[in-house]
Amino acid sequence: MIMKPCQKVRLLILFFCCYSLTCMSQELRVGDVLPDIRSINYANGDAKSFSFSDLKSKLIIIDFWGTGCISCIQAFPKIDSLQRKFANKVQFILVNKESPDSTKRFFSKKNKIKIPNVPVVMGDSVLHKLFPHIFVPHHVWIDGNGVVVAITDDWNTSSHNIDQFLSKKTIQLSEKKDSLINYSESFFWLAGIAEREGTLDYCSYFTRRVLGLRSSMGFKNTDEEGIVDDINMVYADNMPIISFIEIAFSERNKYNFEHSNSVFWNVKSILKYQPPDDHERYGDWLETNPLYCYRLIVPHTRRCELFKIMQEDVQKYFNIRVEIKKRVIKCLVLRRTSTTDKLRSKGGQPQNRLWVADSIRYLNNRSFDEFVKWLSYGFDASRIPTPFINSTNYKGNVDIRINNSASMVASDMSWLRKELRKFDLDLVEESRLTDVLVITEK
């Protein structure tokens, strides 16, 4: 089980006293004082008293998260590192509103996930009422006097910003205001209302960043009774320019331009189009480079034109020319190392568990093409700059089991090659003529 004493993880179930229900349900804003919330601390079965007043003199950072939030979980190592670095001056507290049983089951199943050595508040309702929000991660900073000093996004929680705050230097953290979004009255959501009522035939628009929205994208069939794959809608929220280019010209996996050596720039500054790889610099980049939102809906009779229309929109709005060309670049080529077939499926229930963060990822009685797709898209493209090419010519259904790695990064592909060799497969770096994007400012 994940809940062992050696992990020193304090699991807290919030209860409150000494304050009326009215007081505890009132939303707090920057400048307000946090009430002294008293909790019961369940640490491996031993109940202990816990109060926020016990943390006076420390900077408290409350991290609202959820088991379904991938970015929340990916930030656990960063939170653990920051807690160790500022141990005597800062206290992180993880808070979710899922039940303790549900949360414990999640961690027991995801045994590769290391929980930060900080209090974990489960089944919360009080803090969620004091700091209402829609999207997670959601961070609240509270100073040593109990005053709320920031309600912000997780990317603002960096070593630099914490150090500046503790040094009493002036910092400006962007305010996260998703609790203030009124979906029914906002002009931005008018198209969505018309879509639900079945009165929207055609829609295409860009907006600048909408505060409170998480970065996301996807495709949809606006006819609820229609076939899912017959998409006639593209949406993307709070993304940099490069994301819109990749979505439009990848044409839903027809091409893969997510890898850095698949994109060639004829521009004055690449930073205008994509954020820096260094997460610590993201806040500074965002100060001068806006994010955008996009909606495109076409009639079902024109769904075959969906990506062509988006490509035109992207080039016109951002005043660029984007071309797909052939160039010789480095690629990771998937090859078979023998004629022995160690892939062929033995039958059974078809399953695809390649995309889940379990200790074992596997395909059972599914197409080999699904495995190739996972190799192409299942990694962090910003850290693996080289695209994958399938040279196996293998057809048919397969059974594949891959032992998961704690670190799927380009600098350490040895674990993957080791797993592939079990099936007489290998990844070899070669220079190949392949499709790339060429982006030119007009």
Calpha distance 149→153 (Å, rounded): 13
Per the domain annotation, does 17 fall within a domain? yes
Residue 186: per-residue pLDDT: 53
Residue 37: per-residue pLDDT: 79
Confidence of residue 119 (pLDDT cuts 50, 70, 90): confident
Q: Of 318, 350, 381, which closes a domain?
A: 318
Strands 425-441 and 320-336: antiparallel
Q: Name the residue with higher pLDDT: 53 or 80.
A: 80
Distance of CA 103 to the CA centre of its chain: 19
Nearest of 103, 107, 123 to residue 40 by alpha carbon: 123
Residue 316: per-residue pLDDT: 96
- Residue 416 scores a pLDDT above 70: yes
Indicate whether 172 and 217 sit together in one domain.
no
The DSSP bridge partners found for residue 324 are: 437
Calpha distance 235→150 (Å, rounded): 30
CB 14 within 8 A of CB 37: yes
Indicate whether 34 and 171 sit together in one domain.
yes
Mean pLDDT, range 336-362, rounded to an integer: 88
Question: Which residue blocks in 251-398 are alpha helix, DSSP H?
Answer: 282-288, 306-317, 368-377
* DSSP single-letter state for residue 279: G
- Residue 146 scores a pLDDT above 60: yes
Indicate whether 15 and 136 sit together in one domain.
yes
Q: Of 318, 345, 368, which closes a domain?
A: 318
Per the domain annotation, does 222 fall within a domain? yes
Question: Coil, strand or helix: which one is 327?
Answer: strand
- Share the mean pLDDT of the chain: 82
Per the domain annotation, does 391 fall within a domain? yes
Indicate whether 172 and 25 sit together in one domain.
yes
Calpha distance 367→350 (Å, rounded): 9
The three-point CA angle 352-353-357 to 5° equals 160
Calpha distance 169→163 (Å, rounded): 9
Indicate whether 36 and 173 sit together in one domain.
yes
Indicate whether 381 and 427 sit together in one domain.
yes
The total domain count for the chain is 3
Indicate whether 34 and 153 sit together in one domain.
yes
Indicate whether 144 and 86 sit together in one domain.
yes
271-320 pLDDT, tens per residue? 999 998 777 788 889 888 999 999 999 998 999 999 999 999 999 999 99
User: Which range has the worst mean pLDDT, 84-98, 143-157, 205-219, 370-384?
Assistant: 370-384
Confidence of residue 411 (pLDDT cuts 50, 70, 90): very low
Indicate whether 137 and 275 sit together in one domain.
no
45-60 pLDDT, tens per residue? 344 556 777 777 899 9
Calpha distance 375→377 (Å, rounded): 6
Residue 47: per-residue pLDDT: 43
Residue 140: per-residue pLDDT: 96
User: Using only C-alpha atoms, what is the Rg of the chain?
Assistant: 25
Sort 50 into a burial class: Cβ within 10 Å, 0-12 / 13-18 / 19+: buried
- Residue 69 scores a pLDDT above 50: yes
93-118 pLDDT, tens per residue? 999 988 888 888 888 888 788 888 88
CB 233 within 8 A of CB 247: no
Per the domain annotation, does 367 fall within a domain? yes
Domain that holds residue 164: 5-179
CATH number of the domain enclosing 127: 3.40.30.10
Indicate whether 203 and 299 sit together in one domain.
yes
User: Which range has the worst mean pLDDT, 257-261, 300-304, 346-350?
Assistant: 257-261
Amino acid at 158: S
Strands 320-336 and 388-390: parallel
Q: Name the residue with higher pLDDT: 60 or 408.
A: 60
Question: Coil, strand or helix: which one is 428?
Answer: strand
CB 231 within 8 A of CB 306: yes
- Residue 76 scores a pLDDT above 70: yes
Indicate whether 248 and 122 sit together in one domain.
no
Q: What is the torsion angle, in degrees rounded to the nearest 10, for the CA atoms of residue 355, residue 357, residue 359 and residue 364?
A: -20
Residue 141: per-residue pLDDT: 96
Calpha distance 397→224 (Å, rounded): 31
Indicate whether 107 and 124 sit together in one domain.
yes
Per the domain annotation, does 80 fall within a domain? yes
Sort 64 into a burial class: Cβ within 10 Å, 0-12 / 13-18 / 19+: buried
Per the domain annotation, does 164 fall within a domain? yes
The DSSP bridge partners found for residue 390 are: 334
Tokens 């331009």 sit at which residue?
257
Residue 157: per-residue pLDDT: 94
pTM comes to: 0.58
Q: Of 257, 288, 318, which closes a domain?
A: 318
Per the domain annotation, does 221 fall within a domain? yes
Which range, 5-14, 310-319, 404-413, is most confident? 310-319
Question: Coil, strand or helix: which one is 243?
Answer: helix
Q: What is the torsion angle, in degrees rounded to the nearest 10, for the CA atoms of residue 374, residue 380, residue 381 and residue 383?
A: -140
Residue 335: per-residue pLDDT: 94
Per the domain annotation, does 323 fall within a domain? no
* DSSP single-letter state for residue 71: H
Mean pLDDT, range 346-375, rounded to an integer: 87
CB 62 within 8 A of CB 126: no
